């Protein structure tokens, strides 16, 4: 994609890099600030203001890749402890049961017979990478995708537009309060998985299940 999604970050504000992105060939920019509050850009240049550019990035990424999550059963797994283990157990059970399954975790992504290092080992990949992996799963004939969903990934909408059919929570204790600030905010981030489930596209062969 040659568009840029700008959002305020913990250290820098992405809106500051719009001019640089335009110079490097960006075809459009999506941001949270009003155009009149930004550095001047060509009047004909497409700029779209949204309430949450991270959520917009997830939706744009899904659209770019043809909404791959709508073509599979999607299982999201969150919790303080046991996310990776639980996601891999679900993946293994599905595979042993003869279902063509894929998985994206904080450790790796398994797509068909290939395995990819997600390069993070601590948190959920960004939305463009998730949607790209999901598109690869669809191309490989995957029926069910298991997606480990961290609190950062949920809070930052990295797993937005994943159209979940099953939401699993292992447990919730105290963690990552340096980022979330309060226990309530941490719990709200985890609960977002169930909000995604309620908002997800309906698929005739995949009823919605919260666990």
Mean pLDDT, each 10-residue run in order, the chain (211 residues)? 61 87 93 93 94 95 98 96 95 97 94 86 87 97 97 94 97 75 90 95 88 69
Instruction: Calculate the alpha carbon distances from 201 to 3, 68, 177 in Å.
Output: 25, 12, 32
Instruction: Calculate the alpha carbon distances from 161 to 75, 121, 128, 141, 203 in Å.
Output: 13, 22, 11, 20, 14
The reported pLDDT for the residue numbered 2 is 56
The reported pLDDT for the residue numbered 13 is 87
Instruction: Provide the whole-model pTM.
Output: 0.90
Which residue segments constitute the domains of the chain, with CATH numbers given?
3-51 (3.40.1390), 67-210 (3.40.1190.10)
Distance of alpha carbon 174 from the chain centroid: 23
Q: Under the phi-then-psi rule, with left for phi > 0, alpha for psi from -120 to 50, and beta for the rest, what region is 160?
A: beta
The reported pLDDT for the residue numbered 205 is 81
Quote the CA–CA distance of 73 and 144 in Å, as a whole number: 5
Phi, psi at 68, each rounded to 5°:
-60, -30
Of the candidates 38, 151, 26, 165, the residue with the CA atom closest to the CA atom of residue 94: 165
The reported pLDDT for the residue numbered 9 is 62
Quote the CA–CA distance of 101 and 197 in Å, as a whole number: 19
Phi, psi at 4, each rounded to 5°:
-125, 130
The reported pLDDT for the residue numbered 93 is 98
Number of Cβ within 10 Å of residue 32's Cβ equals 18
The reported pLDDT for the residue numbered 10 is 61
């Amino acid at each position: 994609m040659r568009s840029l999604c700008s959002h305020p970050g913990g250290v820098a504000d992405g809106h500051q890099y719009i001019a640089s992105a335009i110079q490097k060939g960006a075809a459009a920019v999506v941001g949270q600030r009003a155009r009149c509050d930004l550095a001047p850009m060509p009047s004909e240049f497409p700029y779209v203001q949204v309430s949450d550019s991270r959520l917009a990035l997830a939706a744009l990424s899904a659209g770019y890749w043809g909404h791959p999550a709508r073509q599979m059963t999607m299982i999201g797994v969150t919790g303080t402890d046991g996310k990776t283990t639980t996601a891999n157990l679900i993946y293994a059970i599905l595979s042993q049961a003869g279902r063509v399954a894929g998985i994206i975790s904080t450790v790796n992504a398994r797509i068909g017979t290939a395995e990819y290092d997600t390069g993070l080992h601590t948190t959920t990949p960004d939305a463009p990478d998730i949607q790209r992996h999901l598109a690869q799963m669809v191309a490989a004939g995957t029926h069910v995708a298991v997606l480990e969903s961290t609190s950062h990934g949920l809070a930052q909408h990295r797993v937005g537009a994943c159209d979940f059919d099953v939401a699993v929570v292992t447990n919730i204790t105290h963690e990552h309060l340096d980022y979330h600030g309060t226990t309530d905010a941490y719990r709200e981030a985890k609960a977002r998985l169930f909000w995604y489930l309620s908002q997800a596209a309906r698929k005739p062969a995949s009823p919605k299940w919260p666990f």
